[in-house]
Amino acid sequence: MGIVLFMNLIMQIIGGVSLYYFKYVIGNDKLNQVFYAFSGLAEIGGLMLFPILTKKIGRQNVFKLASILPILGCSMILVFGIIAPKNAAFIAISGVVLKLGTGMLLGATTVMLADVVDYGQFKLGTRNESIVFSVQTLLVKTASAVSGWLVGVGLSVVGYVPNAVQGASTILGLRVLMIGLPILCAISMYVIYKNKYKINGDYHDMILEKIKSGEAVV
């Protein structure tokens, strides 16, 4: 639940702040369209790459890579926004790196939810797909509500004034909202995965074997 929540927060916070970021920090709101055109394609590509990379390097390594890419993409947005803020190619590259990661994460979390269903059968003797996947829908809606609240409160806190030149503190605050918060969410997501998610490797294989053989619940 924590992993899915933080993953959706990454995507929705960026989606909620990007227009303000490109209009007031970068100074060209049309670059927001460039960012989303390339990042949208990259997200689809990341989702398609997920099963291929999983076969080559394993799910744990894919999840690690998928967690790093949004951090790298956000960092690139920050750096390029300072050294070449109106370079459309740099903006596109940043969006591609960022959304390749979130695309892989979409694939990874969907598979992880299926694994949780298997784990439930292993522990409880019943498969509860409807409950598990309905929680995913709940978490997406929760992330949408939380991100909307964070963006609204964040804009107020940083002193955002609509259709006006923003002060230095507001520009800094918009960078924190667009870049800092998603990076923090990505780190938190990976920490949860690393320390709490155990349905991997030999343990996962054992669960599948127990289910297939119809052995008693343990």
User: What would the pLDDT profile of 150-170 be if each residue is shown by its tens digit?
Assistant: 999 999 999 999 988 889 999
Proportion of the chain above pLDDT 70, given as a percent: 98
Span 60-94, pLDDT tens digits: 999 999 999 999 999 999 999 999 988 999 999 99
User: What's the CA angle centered on 26, arms 81 and 65, to 5 degrees?
Assistant: 40
Question: What SS3 class is residue 40?
Answer: helix
Per-residue confidence (pLDDT) for residue 65, from 0 to 100 = 95
- The CA dihedral of 157, 158, 163, 164, to the nearest 10 degrees, is 130
Per-residue confidence (pLDDT) for residue 174, from 0 to 100 = 95
216: pLDDT strictly greater than 70: no
To the nearest whole number, what is the mean pLDDT of the chain?
Answer: 91
Per-residue confidence (pLDDT) for residue 55, from 0 to 100 = 92
Residues 25/167, Cβ–Cβ less than 8 Å? no
pTM confidence score: 0.89
How far apart CA 60 and CA 195 sit, in angstroms, is: 12
Nearest to 95 by CA among 107, 68, 77: 77
Per-residue confidence (pLDDT) for residue 104, from 0 to 100 = 96
Proportion of the chain above pLDDT 90, given as a percent: 67
Distance of CA 189 to the CA centre of its chain: 9
How far apart CA 217 and CA 125 sit, in angstroms, is: 6
How far apart CA 9 and CA 189 sit, in angstroms, is: 10
Tokens standing for 103?
């695309």
Span 35-50, pLDDT tens digits: 999 999 999 999 999 9
218: pLDDT strictly greater than 80: no
139: pLDDT strictly greater than 70: yes
124: pLDDT strictly greater than 70: yes
Question: What SS3 class is residue 148?
Answer: helix
Per-residue confidence (pLDDT) for residue 129, from 0 to 100 = 85
